[in-house]
Amino acid sequence: MRLDVVSLAPEAFAPLLGLGVIGRAFKGGIAELHLHNPRDYATDKYKKVDDIPYGGGAGMVLKPEPVFAAVEAIPVLPRRRVLLMSPQGQPLKQADLRRWAADYDQLLFLCGHYEGFDERIRSLADEEVSIGDFVLTGGELPAATIINGVVRLLPGTVGTESCLEDESHSALLLEHPHYTRPAAFCGMEVPAVLRSGDHGAIARWRHDQQVERTRDRRPDLYALWEQQQEH
């Protein structure tokens, strides 16, 4: 998969290239990351990428010309999706990560900065995405979050791909608890069923734990799961 990022802070993405299985996916050619700084496409001698907002107000606004020029210079693969990082976007879901990983060969990320971006930049995007109801100084962290989430789903990134099937948010329910050795630690013991060797009982216990955890921790997801069971 080709990943292109338009950002005024491309250095923010360097840690991804050395981050565990994600870094190995880049080194192994499973994904490739290309960074594009709009400042390189500014045409004035000062490389200006922002300006004061029409109508007044605090802060500076990202100009459209350098962003459009950066996007136009990026090669276009047949299956491409352009994602604009914005606190006004749709909340990010695991289903989105799976969709982008499966349906596209190229993801292009637009990262805002300063007070915001010129409204016309929105026309470049296929989707606007938010990672939560809060505001950051730019779209770099949200973009890096999505890149991490997508790349880990690409075939070959995770050694045992079956471990991706039962994790939290893969099918509404949160993931069940995990334990490893020792069997007893600081007065806390591994549940006996996990040491029983009875795979059917273990599967039932894990499912019950998923339901219980989701009900207690995410009643919104639990309600959706209950509705799903009724159909």
Residue 177 DSSP symbol = P
**How many other C-beta atoms can be found within 10 angstroms of the C-beta atom of residue 219?**
10
- Give the number of domains in the chain: 2
pLDDT in tens, the chain (231 residues): 999 999 999 999 999 999 999 999 999 999 999 999 999 999 999 999 999 999 998 899 999 999 999 999 999 999 999 999 999 999 999 999 999 999 999 999 999 987 789 999 999 999 999 999 999 999 999 999 999 999 999 999 997 665 566 566 667 899 999 999 999 999 999 999 999 999 999 999 999 999 999 999 999 999 999 999 988
What range defines the domain where residue 32 resides? 2-151
In a domain, 7, yes or no: yes
Tell me: do 26 and 116 sit in the same domain.
yes
For residue 185, being part of any structural domain is answered with yes
Q: Specify if 93 maps to a domain.
A: yes
Answer yes or no: do 96 and 203 share one domain. Answer: no
Instruction: Produce one character per residue of 96-120: b if its CB has 16 or more CB atoms within 10 Å, e if not.
Output: bbbebbeebebbbbbbbbbebbbee
Verify that 175 and 134 share a domain, yes or no: no
